[in-house]
Structure 1
């Protein structure tokens, strides 16, 4: 009976020294491999190794020996020094993730470059088209200016011709007026001499 009590007390003490925790995710350190044991201490036998960087589940810890009980991906349970565990994923796990992130960012940058190049080409095309339109408008403007200059010269020439015709007409009217005036003066001088001679002739006939 005493032996059973002693065994019970021993198991109770062991349970007290082993602190139970909820299952937590941990990662094995980035060593080539890590030895695991059958119990929470260096005095327990080795039961195998675990791969570096492997994800394991932390079941409980022993604060006296700084060991933790883990379960690996195959379901095997063993004890491992807590210093060999990490809260962060190992480089073995992070490197592929980082490579994927780099690839994703590289693809995005390539897409941005392609989009930017396409937009730049479109803008250059629009600018080129605008330059063509501007050049066409400038040429059309210059053509209209040349036509305006020619029209102004024609108008000036027509005005000169009109002035010459007006002067010619005025001169003709002066000439006609002078001719009429001259004829009137001649008639005025001749008629008085013709009328008395007729009267004399009429008197002599009587």
Structure 2
């Protein structure tokens, strides 16, 4: 509610500065909460020719010599004299209120749109963070599996090397043993051909 009051106050200050009459004559507004009577001349003793509701814009045509009455023309083209004290230079609240209400509604709509967008972005950010957490967990698990596989490969290489040394030792030992056994086997004598 405080925000609405601030926006309303700012618009009240800004709107009069932006609202300018396109006519060459200066513009004015009938003061709020009044019905002002138009006279046929510059004084109360002149005949009343009509009335103007509060808040309506009018065009100032001329002022009386003493400045107490001003000749105006309303939006319908009627001309007459009104007391100068009932004219104001700023846009009346009656004119400002619909415009301010519309601007306030537009601001509220923009705020709702931005709030909705922020909510969606917050939700997307939460989802992205969750995905990052899941990916980091997957990465840690993959690194652990890689470490385990590396250990298994290293262990298998060590076992294979040990097995090769073992087989090599067995073959070498068998060759030495075979060589020793062969040296102890008596040689057959060759028969000499004595009958020759």
* Bin for the TM-score computed over the shorter chain: 0.7 to 0.9
Question: In the TM superposition, what is the alpha-carbon distance from 1:118 to its structure 2 partner?
Answer: 1.9
2:58–2:74 Cα contact (<8 Å) kept: yes
Of the three residues 175, 180, 183, the one matched with 1:181 is 183
Give 1:107's aligned residue.
109
Deviation at 1:24, TM superposition (A): 3.0
Q: Say yes or no: does 1:81 pair with 2:69.
A: no
Cα drift, residue 90 of structure 1 = 0.2
Q: What SS is found at the alignment partner of 1:23?
A: coil
Residues 1:139 and 2:141 are matched in the alignment: yes
Q: Distance in 2 between matches of 1:138 and 1:121?
A: 26
User: Which string of whole-angstrom CA distances, capped at 9 and with x for unpartnered residues, describes residues 127-170 of structure 1?
Assistant: 33333333333322222222222222222222222222122112
> Which is higher, the Rg of structure 1 or of structure 2?
1
Aligned equivalent of 1:44, options 36, 43, 46: 46
Q: How many Å apart are 1:173 and its aligned residue? A: 1.6
Q: Which segments of 5 or more consecutive residues in structure 2 lack a partner in the other structure?
A: 1-23
Q: CA deviation at 1:87?
A: 2.0
Question: Considering only aligned residues, what root-mean-square deviation do their CA atoms show, in Å?
Answer: 2.7
Count of residue pairs the alignment pairs up: 170
The TM-score with structure 1 as length reference comes to 0.70
CA distance in 2, matches of 1:142, 1:149: 11
Query: Which residue number corresponds to residue 159 of structure 2?
Result: 157
1:93 corresponds to 2:95: yes
Contact 2:67 2:84 in 1 (8 A): no
SS in 1 for 2:137: helix
2-structure distance, mates of 1:62, 1:94:
29
Residues 92-147 of structure 1 deviation map (CA, whole Å, 9 limit, x = unaligned): 11111111111111111111111222222223333333333333333222222222
Residue in 2 aligned with 1:8? none
Higher relative contact order (CA 8 A, sep 6+): 2
In the other structure, the counterpart of 2:127 is 125
Partner Cα distance (1:136, 1:63) in 2: 91
Q: Aligned partners of 1:75 and 1:158: how far apart in 2?
A: 111
State the alpha-carbon separation in 2 of the partners of residues 56 and 112 from structure 1.
40
- What is the rounded CA distance, in whole Å, between the counterparts of 2:95 and 2:62 in structure 1? 24
